[in-house]
Amino acid sequence: MANEFEDIVCFENVSMSYPLSGEVLREISLKLAAGSFYFITGSSGAGKSSLMRLMFLAHRPSKGKISIFGKDIMSLTRDDRSALRRKIGVVFQEFKLINHMSALDNVALPLRIAGVSESKICEYVPELLRWVGLEKKIESKATTLSGGEQQRVAIARAVIARPRLLLADEPTGSVDDEIAVRLMHLLEELNKNGTTIVVATHNDELVHRFPHPEIRVEKGGISGSSTAFL
């Protein structure tokens, strides 16, 4: 169990570059305490998604040190990285659903990998799909769902196993306002149960409606008034 004062994520002077586009993040220093909830905001192309991918271990920094759950990511073995990722729920804009599987089976996948019984899966998964407004789409294949419906399945899959850290990149970008608010309430409930939440969004209305600290990314740097900054 995470100590309430443990830093789930810690960046120390982190920079990141892509081979073709050059440096996208520079000298980023921040820390996210266990059980916190942060918005990452900024204009399109500012580096929000790159910051999230570093937190998910999808990329390595070109400079600086990143620690996730107290572990220096540069010292991890492949097995260590896999074990760390299992503690992280991720919702990226491309969804990454398995097309030939139903909504139920996509959401159930993390539980099946973890060895959860089918009786528990049949209890938990339909309930969560109802919560995100997909009670009539439980058996629908991913390819038959709209973009907004696929996004809700991806969110349900990310939260079903109650990860210690949830990273959500524009999680409400393809849904209407009512569903967006409903999804935010779901994330807040998860946060109340101990999950650290990081939501990247350009939706200023959501940021204003839900009073959580903000990390703003602009021109590769970060700003804001919050406890995230070292």
- What does the pLDDT look like over 82-104, one tens digit per residue? 889 889 999 887 778 999 999 99
Tokens of 139: 């058996």
pLDDT, tens digit (0-9, with 9 covering 90-100), for 142-185:
999 998 899 889 989 999 988 999 999 988 887 888 888 888 98
CA 168/CA 160 separation, integer angstroms:
14
Q: What is the reported pTM?
A: 0.86
Q: What is the pLDDT of residue 157?
A: 92
Q: How far is residue 45 from each of residues 112, 198, 214, measured CA to CA in Å?
A: 36, 18, 17
DSSP secondary-structure letter at 167? Answer: E
pLDDT, tens digit (0-9, with 9 covering 90-100), for 13-69:
999 998 887 889 999 999 999 999 999 999 888 889 899 999 999 889 999 999 999
Q: Where are the beta strands (DSSP E) in 34-139?
A: 37-41, 63-68, 71-72, 88-91
Confidence of residue 204 (pLDDT cuts 50, 70, 90): confident
Q: What is the pLDDT of residue 223?
A: 82
225 pLDDT above the threshold of 60: no
Tokens of 193: 């149960």
CA 53/CA 51 separation, integer angstroms:
6
Spatial CA neighbour of 39 closest among 51, 26, 28: 51
1 pLDDT above the threshold of 90: no
Name the amino acid, one letter, at 119: S
Could you tell me if 130 and 177 are in contact, meaning their C-beta atoms sit under 8 angstroms apart?
Answer: no
DSSP secondary-structure letter at 144? Answer: G
pLDDT, tens digit (0-9, with 9 covering 90-100), for 106-138:
999 999 988 999 999 999 999 999 988 899 999
Q: How far is residue 18 from each of residues 47, 115, 163, 199, measured CA to CA in Å?
A: 11, 38, 29, 23
Q: Is 4 exposed, middle or buried (0-12, 13-18, 19+ CB in 10 A)?
A: exposed
Residue 85 or 3, more confident:
85
Q: What is the pLDDT of residue 131?
A: 87
Q: What is the pLDDT of residue 219?
A: 85
Q: What is the pLDDT of residue 4?
A: 47
230 pLDDT above the threshold of 70: no
Q: What is the pLDDT of residue 216?
A: 93
Q: Which residue has the tokens 């998604």?
A: 49
DSSP secondary-structure letter at 91? Answer: E
Q: What is the pLDDT of residue 224?
A: 66
CA 48/CA 52 separation, integer angstroms:
6
7 pLDDT above the threshold of 90: no
In the chain, what's the furthest Cα-to-Cα distance? 50
CA 5/CA 2 separation, integer angstroms:
8
Determine if residue 97 is left, alpha or beta; phi over 0 gives left, psi from -120 to 50 gives alpha, anything else beta: beta
Q: What is the pLDDT of residue 140?
A: 96
DSSP β-bridge partners for residue 153: none
Q: What is the pLDDT of residue 179?
A: 82
